[in-house]
Amino acid sequence: MANEKHFTTTQDEKIQPGLKDARVYFAQTTPSIEDLYEDGTVDPVYQAKARLLNAAIQEIGMGKYQWYLFIVAGFGWFADSVWPLITGLILSPVVSLYNFQSPFLSLAVNIGLLVGALLWGLGTDIWGRRLSFNLTLLIAGVFGLAAGGANSFVSLASLLAVVGVGVGGNMPVDSAVFLDFVPGSHQYLLTILSIWWSLGQLFVNLIAWPLIANFSCPQNTPAGTCTKSQDMGYRYLLFTLGGFTLLLWGLRFFLFKFEESPRFLVGLGKDTEAVAVIQRIAAFNGKECTLTVEDLQRAEFDVMGETEAVDERRRGVLSASSDYSIGHIKALFKTKKLAWSTSLLIAIWGIIGLASTLYNNFLPFLLASRGAKFGDSSYYITYRNQVILSILGIPGAFLAGWAVEQPYIGRRGTLAISSGNALFNDPRAIYKGLTGVFLFASTTARTSDALLGWNCGYAFHSNIMYGVLYAISPELFPAKDRGTGNGLTATTTRVFGVLAPIIALYANLETAVPVYISGALIIFAGSLALALPYEPRGKASL
C-alpha cells in the first residue's frame, strides 16, 4: 500500500478513454461482455476496479495459464467427487468388519466436510486464495493414506472426518480461483470443469471394483464376523486414493506457479500487486496487457472524487477485507436483489445436499440389497454397476457446458420435460426435475437391470445438474466475497449432508423411502431455481 502513488488528475487526464469512468473503458475494450451486477450492488470502488480487471483479463484472453489452471483446479473437483463417495463404496466391507450402524461413517465424513467448507470458504476471502488452494489436497491425501491403516471404526471415522476437512474446501476455493482468472467470454468453462467430477467418480469406481470384489468377505457376511486379513480391499482402496490425491497435490504445488487472485488483491487495496499479477499472466501467455496501476487509481478517484476521500475509503473499507468479520457476509446481502439471489442459492444447495447425500452415500448399499432380492447380489455386480453409472456422467458434463451458452436451452431458456411432464423456464430446473423423475422411476424397478437403467438416467442428469450449479453459484457472487459465498452454500450443503445419515438411522434403507424423499427434494430445488434473479450467460462476473 505504501509504495502506491496517490495523485490528483487534470481535466485532460480525466477525459481520456478508460480513465474517467471504468465502465467506459470496459465497454470499449470488451463491448460484447456486460457486467452481471447493476450499479450499487457491490462497493463502487471495488466495482470500478473489477471492471478494469475484467477488461484486462479479457484482453489477455484464454491462454496457457488459464488452461493449466483448468487442469489443476479440476483436481479439486476430482477430490470432491472421490472422497465423499468413499463412504458408500466401503460401507458394506467395513460393516462386515466392525459391526456398526452404517450411517455413522457417512456422518463422520460429512461433519468434516462441514468444517472444511466453513473454514476454507470464508478463509479464502481473508488470507487469500493461495494458502487454501495449496493445503486442501495435501490434507486430504495425508489423512486418506492414514485412514487405510486404521484399526478400529472410531479411528477410521475420525481420520476420514479430517479428510473431509480438506476436501470440504476444494469446491469453494477452486471455483473461486478459476473464475478469478478466466475471461468473461469463457466463464462457461466453469461448468465443463465438472468433467473432473465425472472422471473422479469413474476412477474411484474402477479402483473399488477389483479391490473390494476380490479382497473382501462375501457380501452377505454377517456384520462383525469378517477378519482384517479377509477384508483388506477397502484398505487398498484408501491407500490408492490417498496416494493419488498426494500426487495431484504435488503436481499442483510443484509444477504450477499459482498467482494470488488480482481481484482479491484489489479488494485489499493492493493495486500494485494486482497489476503485477496481471502482467505476469500476460507474459506467461505471450500477450501484452495495457493495464497500469494508474488506471486503477484513477478509477478509484473518479468514484470518490478527491484524494483525501480515496485514502480514507481505502483505510475504512477495502483494508477491512483482511479482517475476520461478518463484513463479507453482509456484502452478499447488500441489496434486495443480491440478498434474494444469495438466499435462494443457499436454500437450493441445502436441499440438494440433503437429497444427494441421502441417496448417493447409500446407493451401493441400495444396489446390493435390491440385488439380493433380485438374486444377483455380489460385490462384482454392485461395483460393476457403479462403474456404468459413473461413465454416464462424462457426456453430461459436456452437454451442460454446451447448454449454458444457448439462448433458449441455456441458463434461462424455456424447455419442456418430455412425456407430458410440466414445463420449466430454466434448464437448471429441468435437469433437477429430470434427476428427481429418474429417482422416482427407480422405485418401479422389478429387476436389477431395470434398477440400473433408471439409475443411469439419474446419474446422467445429476451430473448436468451439478455442473450447472457449481458454475452459477460462484458466478453470482462478487469476487472479493466469492469465497464467503461459496463457503455459505457449501456449508449449507454439508449441514444438510450431516442430517442425511441421521435420517437414515431411522429410515429403512431397504425400502424406497430414501429414494422418494430424495426425488421430491431435488424437484423442489428445481422449482426454486426458477426464481434466481441474475442470469450470468453473456455477462462477466465481478
More confidently predicted of 268 and 148:
148
Give the range among 192-206, 246-260, 278-292 with minimum mean pLDDT: 192-206
More confidently predicted of 170 and 516:
170
Give the range among 34-38, 243-247, 319-323, 358-362 with minimum mean pLDDT: 319-323
Choose the most confident range, by mean pLDDT, from 83-87, 259-263, 314-318, 515-519: 259-263
**What single-letter DSSP state applies at residue 475?**
H
**pLDDT tens, position by position, 419-434:** 223 333 333 333 334 5
More confidently predicted of 293 and 10:
293
Number of residues assigned to the chain:
542
Read off the amino acid at residue 523: I
C-alpha distances out from residue 394 to 81, 248, 305, Å: 13, 20, 52
Q: What is the CA radius of gyration of the chain?
A: 24
Check pLDDT > 90 for residue 328. Answer: no
Torsion 315-321-322-326 (CA) sign: positive
**pLDDT tens, position by position, 299-322:** 888 887 644 444 444 433 343 444
Q: Report the distance separating Cα 358 and Cα 421, nearest Å.
A: 25
pLDDT of residue 424: 31
Check pLDDT > 50 for residue 6. Answer: no
Return mean pLDDT, the chain: 76
Confidence of residue 160 (pLDDT cuts 50, 70, 90): very high
375's grid cell: 438374486
Q: Report the distance separating Cα 395 and Cα 386, nearest Å.
A: 16
pLDDT of residue 13: 38
More confidently predicted of 12 and 69:
69
Confidence of residue 18 (pLDDT cuts 50, 70, 90): very low
More confidently predicted of 31 and 355:
355
pLDDT of residue 48: 87
**pLDDT tens, position by position, 443-492:** 555 566 776 777 777 777 777 777 777 777 888 888 888 888 888 888 88
**393: which residues sit within 8 A by CB, 6+ positions away?**
197, 198, 201, 202, 459, 460, 462, 463
Overall average pLDDT of the 52-59 stretch: 91
In 3D space, the residue among 281, 279, 309 whose CA is nearest the CA of residue 295 turns out to be: 279
pLDDT of residue 339: 92
Overall average pLDDT of the 231-249 stretch: 94
Alpha carbons within 13 angstroms on the beta-carbon side of residue 503 total: 19
Check pLDDT > 50 for residue 414. Answer: no
Q: Report the distance separating Cα 33 and Cα 57, nearest Å.
A: 12
Overall average pLDDT of the 51-59 stretch: 91
51's grid cell: 471492471
| Class of CATH domain 64-259+333-540 | mainly alpha
More confidently predicted of 274 and 495:
274
Q: Report the distance separating Cα 113 and Cα 108, nearest Å.
A: 9
pLDDT of residue 423: 30
C-alpha distances out from residue 508 to 102, 292, 351, 412, 513, Å: 12, 63, 21, 39, 7
**pLDDT tens, position by position, 358-382:** 766 555 555 555 554 444 556 677 7
Rounded percentage of the chain residues whose pLDDT exceeds 70: 75
Q: Give the helix ranges, DSSP H, for 420-512.
A: 427-442, 448-475, 482-506
Q: Report the distance separating Cα 358 and Cα 521, nearest Å.
A: 11
* Burial of 74 per CB tally in 10 Å (0-12, 13-18, 19+): buried
**pLDDT tens, position by position, 117-144:** 888 988 888 888 888 898 999 999 999 9
Confidence of residue 67 (pLDDT cuts 50, 70, 90): very high
pLDDT of residue 521: 78
